[in-house]
Chain A
Amino acid sequence: MSDTQNLTLVQAVRDGLKGELERDEDVVVFGEDVGKNGGVFRATQGLYDEFGEERVFDTPLAESGIVGTAIGMAAYGMKPVPEMQFSGFAYPAFDQIVSHAARLRTRSRSRFSVPMTLRMPYGGGIRAPEHHSESKEAFYTHEAGLKVVVPSTPRDTKGLLAASIRDPDPVVFMEPKLIYRAFREEVPDETYTVELGEAKTRREGSDVSVFTWGAMTRPSLEAAENLDGDIDVEVIDLRTLSPMDWDSIVESFKKTGRAVVVHEAPKTGGLGAEIAATIQEEALGYQKAPVTRVTGFDTPFPLYALEDYYMPEAARIEDGIREAVEF
């Protein structure tokens, strides 16, 4: 059995990057403050000293430039892992992400691909300033050609990050910064992958299925525990939003007949709608209640005096579960 370390999620990011930098010389890590400073969240701490500035380097403060140059490097055969310091600052790079990273394979009929892993911390709950708390996974999931990954545990983080870096297509890797340091988990020292596109059942149950991801996984589990003995809740952590593990979603729904989708992102146009629609298409005959959505509001993410009201937490999720079950 391999040795393990007890790591936080952000330490698992670092450990995953280190493993891939060691494994493959074409992997390079870059972005704003990722070098000497080790990243504003310390996700790249020590990598600059260990691998040198050819492999881990600071760039000018320019998100479109970071992603645009990563596309050029990837097309040339490298495996760039650029960082957006916060997902709320990725919009200047949005054109590069959707017009080029997502489409270069299609446009060149697979001659060029973009094996880039674009890391970005996302989500609220850390008392951050404005534009530091957004959850815009639906933007990227909507775009054909991209893959979207959102881990929720340190062990998954390392394995999903390695799988993303080794993937031949561009991956938007969204890190739930709320739980960067919330808990620890034993993480193997050796490198390993967690396959993209596979959901994980975090808790088995027979009355209702909760579908969630990232930072919302923990409050969903907490709600399930709180209801234990009353309602038997299944909690499925989707882990990869594109490609989505539709089989696991539909299978779980066929078992329980009820679904609650929990996401931090605004309700309208969010992935909850996509999941609800797919359940209707694939398993209408099994449906015992409307799909309930527990989400953020259709407002800009508020400054932190109000963010606790904005974000779904266990009590709100419990209400959503009761609503589905008591229909």
Chain B
Amino acid sequence: MSVLDTDPREQVQVLAEDGSVVEGATVPDLSEEEFVEMYRTMKLARHFDQRAVSLQRQGRMGTYPPLSGQEAAQVGSAMALDDQDWLIPSYREHAASYVHGLTLEGTLRYWMGDERGNKLDDLNIFPVAVPIASQVPHAAGLGMAANYNDTDEVFMCYFGDGATSEGDFHEGLNFGGVFDTPTVFFCNNNQWAISVPREKQTASETIAQKAIAYGMDGVQVDGMDPLAVYKVASAAVERARNGEEDKLRPTLIEAVQYRYGAHTTADDPSVYRQDDEVEEWKAKDPIPRMETFLRDRGTLDDERVADITESVEDEVAAAIETAEGFTRPTTDSMFEHVYADMSERLREQKAYLDRLRSDHGDEELLE
């Protein structure tokens, strides 16, 4: 039986909260280096996140959506993709995008207000989507195009629990089902859509069970268990790539998790939720869970953990330095990417801005 055939009202788990392997569960077939990479990337994501929030507080970065608590869901799912596959993120998938090749400085650059952070060159990563659930039909459309071109790429589309209330969630999954697209619809159910709790978002017992309405399989997974997420996501990617008889290729995955921090740095979660709720979820923290698992196997020891901690801090520090060293984009670039060819009116407006800059100087304009 495929893990995708699990009843969508049950939760797939591999690692218990104490880091031991749940009785009867199979550990995914990864090498020890890959397990360590999974652990290291989660630690990197956590440290990056803490530093990013701090940068925002210091006025060195704009509004930023933190991911702490959601590392396992992001890293475990993105590790299931091949390079040729596509990642269609919402605005919080910094760690998933990192796994799929986006540099930390690229992520910082975007949140520092430089549109070039969304220019991902050769990576199969779609630009960050901010309007909720609007990226879900894009993922279905990319899959329709891949079907037409007969490729075997898979499209992993991320969204939150709030997104499942939007029409675009429904329309995207409906198109995915009708056109049998190679899509993995991955819901990061972090319990809160800004201040609105999961139970006020939908009366469904689980989000995974909504898949039934679209004719596809839905699976709920412990989103703070990186091994379970990897296992479920890998199975969904495999089915999307190599369809099975009588099964639709898309899958809806609901990864149950928790966002420890605010929705964004502009939000104050103390207004709508209790600290003890946060503490309860911290007991499920994916990082110590994975660390215990690896220590128990003899793969990690104090020295190796210390090395990893140090290398993660160095990597993040270097990324921040690089990002802060980027020069401001040119004002020309504001006009250059609106159309393939600039219209006469845009040309005039660009020339007007050039004149303003030359007459007044940048310092006066940027006051």
Contacts and interface: CB of A to CB of B under 8 A. Distances in A.
A5 interface: no
A113 B333 CA distance: 16
Given A107-B127, A108-B127, A73 B338 contact: no
A59 B179 CA distance: 9
Q: Which 4 A-B pairs have the closest CB atoms?
A: A72-B141, A68-B137, A65-B171, A69-B141
A78 B178 contact: no
A60 B141 CA distance: 13
A109 B136 CA distance: 21
Interface stretch (A93-101, A177-185, A212-220, A311-319): A93-101
B172 interface: yes
A69 B119 contact: no
A65 B174 contact: yes
Interface in A227-279: 242-244, 246-247
A246 B127 contact: no
Nearest to A106: B337
B168 interface: yes
Interface string A58-97: 0110101101111111111110100000000000100110
B340 interface: yes
Given A62-B175, A96-B134, A109-B119, A78 B345 contact: no
A210 B129 CA distance: 43
B116 A68 contact: no
A145 B126 contact: no
Given A64-B168, A106-B115, A73 B175 contact: no
Interface in B67-124: 115-116, 118-121
Interface in A285-313: none
Nearest to B342: A243
Interface string A26-63: 00100000000000000000000000001000011010
Nearest to B114: A109
25 contacts: A59-B175, A59-B178, A60-B178, A65-B137, A65-B140, A68-B134, A68-B172, A69-B138, A70-B141, A72-B138, A72-B145, A75-B141, A78-B148, A95-B131, A95-B168, A96-B137, A99-B131, A105-B338, A105-B339, A106-B338, A108-B119, A111-B120, A147-B339, A197-B343, A243-B343
B115 A107 contact: yes
B118 A109 contact: yes
A108 B120 contact: yes
A171 to B, nearest CB: 11
A64 B145 contact: no
Contacts of B118: 107-109
B143 interface: yes
A65 B148 contact: no
A270 B129 CA distance: 31
Contacts of B336: 110
Of the four ranges (under 10, 10 to 19, 20 to 34, 35 or more), the interface on chain A belongs to 35 or more
A77 to B, nearest CB: 7
Given A104-B127, A243-B343, A73 B137 contact: no
Interface string B160-195: 000000011001101100100000000000000000
A62 B174 contact: yes
A16 to B, nearest CB: 21
A64 B141 CA distance: 12
B139 interface: yes
A246 B346 CA distance: 12
A112 interface: yes
Contacts of B115: 106-107, 109
A247 B347 CA distance: 14
A109 B171 contact: no
Contact of B333 (A60, A100, A109): A109
Contacts of A106: 115, 337-338
Nearest to A145: B338
B137, B148, B149, most chain A CB atoms within 10 A: B137
Contacts of B294: none
A2 to B, nearest CB: 29
A60 B175 contact: yes
Nearest to B129: A100
Given A76-B145, A108-B120, A100 B167 contact: no
A60 B145 CA distance: 17
Contacts of A145: 338-339
Nearest to A144: B338
A169 interface: yes
Contacts of B143: 72
A75 to B, nearest CB: 7
B119 A73 contact: no
A166 to B, nearest CB: 11
Nearest to B173: A65
Given A65-B171, A68-B171, A111-B120, A246 B345 contact: yes
Contacts of B305: none
B142 A72 contact: yes
Nearest to B177: A60
Contact of A78 (B120, B126, B145, B344): B145
A92 B141 contact: no
Nearest to A63: B171
Interface in A103-141: 104-113
